[in-house]
Copies of this chain bind each other. A is one copy, B any other.
Amino acid sequence: MRTLFAKENWLLLMLVFIPVALVLEYLVHASALWVFLASSAAIIPLAALMGRATEQLAERLGEGVGGLLNATFGNAAELIIAIVALRAGLVDLVKASITGSIIGNLLLVFGASALYGGVKFQRQQFNRTAAGLSATLLVLSATALFIPAIFHLIVPPTAGLAERTLSVEISVVLIVTYVLSLYFSLRTHRHLYVGHAGEDRDELTPTASPWKALGLLVASTAGVALMSEMLVGAVEETAAVFGMNEVFVGVILVALIGNAAEHSSAIMMAGKNKMDTAITIAVGSSIQVALFVAPVLVFLSYLIAPEPMDLRFTTLEVVAVGISVWIMSMIAQDGESHWMEGVQLLAVYVILGLAFYWLPTPG
């Protein structure tokens, strides 16, 4: 979300999928698959526009508040999709999209960035200290997912209340840690992160008026919400058509749609040898999902969902996050990347994707 598309014709073109989706759903009453495809395609440019509007507002509001805005709305599209799914009671899909967002950003987004950048440049470097701190936050994220799953394994089935309470308490710890990490990166240790952000700014299109940006933000948010309703409504039927299980759809498909903007931004930055920005987008987005989006959804679930959501993920989800964090932290630690590291991240993504794909559909 940090950067924007210099040439955005394709972006504007994709907005045509909004009316297409509406027509398919309400006029033609097309099958779920077509609605799913059209609404997915419509969310991609809308999410990008949300990111763009956030970016422009952030710039106007200055580093402090602006950084906060970016940090809070950076994954707003994913949050909206998840809220819609949560209201529909699709808790497993929500969890799967959280997992998918974490592993997708680490393995697919950064993997593709390292590969694309590495093909152009023999060796790419980034700030080891910032990357190391992010890697440690990733371990914290993995812990937060790991503990409820392990806890579920060892307590008797009657301990449901203890499990839910534990999830809520862990969510509080995560949010507090997230706020402190913002204070760290935006205030006390800004210099570790600030270099690249400054450079990127030049490439932004000339800033629009803040009111225009605010209007764009409101409109694109509404659009994402509308399209998410249709996406979520069509997801179960679409999965059934292809014989795919809900978890695979959430981990791979929904996560891809929600993160499409990050994908293209990070890869573009890697192609310009700005690996610091690429790694910030990919890893930062994962951290934001784990430390901010996930606990917010736990809290919201008590208000809007048919039943509360906890932080207990499936075994394969926990393992996938653990492995992704492990390999990412190893790649981050030496402060440089090569194309082969991109290949390795993508290989792990493919292996995990295959495992999710072959999971039997329940029932």
Interface of A toward B, CB cutoff 8 Å: 122, 128-129, 132-133, 135-137, 139-140, 143-144, 146-147, 150-151, 153-156, 159, 162-163, 165-166, 169-170, 173-174, 176-177, 180-181, 184, 188-189, 314-316, 319, 323, 326-327, 329-331, 333-334, 336, 338-341, 343-344, 347-348, 350-352, 354-355, 358-360
Contact = CB atoms under 8 A, between A and B. Distances in A.
Contact of A355 (B151, B319, B351): B151
The interface residues of chain A, by DSSP majority, are classed as helix
The number of times this chain is found in the oligomer is 3
Most chain B CB neighbours (cut-off 10 Å) among A170, A331, A354: A354
B331 A136 contact: yes
A199 B163 CA distance: 49
B154 A316 contact: yes
Contacts of A323: 139, 143, 146
A58 to B, nearest CB: 22
Contact of A329 (B133, B154, B330, B341): B330
B162 A129 contact: no
A166 B360 contact: no
A331 B333 CA distance: 11
A170 B354 contact: yes
Nearest to A140: B344
A183 to B, nearest CB: 8
Given A146-B319, A315-B154, A334-B333, A170 B136 contact: no
The 10 closest A-B pairs by CB, nearest first: A184-B340, A162-B358, A177-B347, A139-B327, A132-B334, A147-B355, A166-B358, A169-B354, A180-B343, A143-B323
B338 A147 contact: no
B333 A333 contact: yes
A326 B330 CA distance: 10
B339 A184 contact: yes
B314 A154 contact: yes
A34 B184 CA distance: 42
A347 B352 CA distance: 28
Contacts of A341: 133, 136
A359 B351 CA distance: 30
A134 B156 CA distance: 38
Contacts of A319: 146-147, 150
Nearest to A350: B173
Contact of A338 (B133, B143, B315): B133
A20 B359 CA distance: 52
Contacts of A147: 319, 351-352, 355
Given A139-B326, A151-B355, A181-B340, 12 more contacts: A133-B341, A139-B327, A140-B344, A140-B348, A155-B360, A159-B360, A166-B358, A173-B350, A176-B347, A180-B343, A184-B340, A330-B333
Contacts of A176: 347
A354 B136 contact: no
Nearest to A347: B177
A310 to B, nearest CB: 12
Given A347-B173, A350-B173, A153 B315 contact: yes
A351 B150 contact: no
B140 A339 contact: no
Contacts of A128: 334
Contacts of A360: 155-156, 159, 162
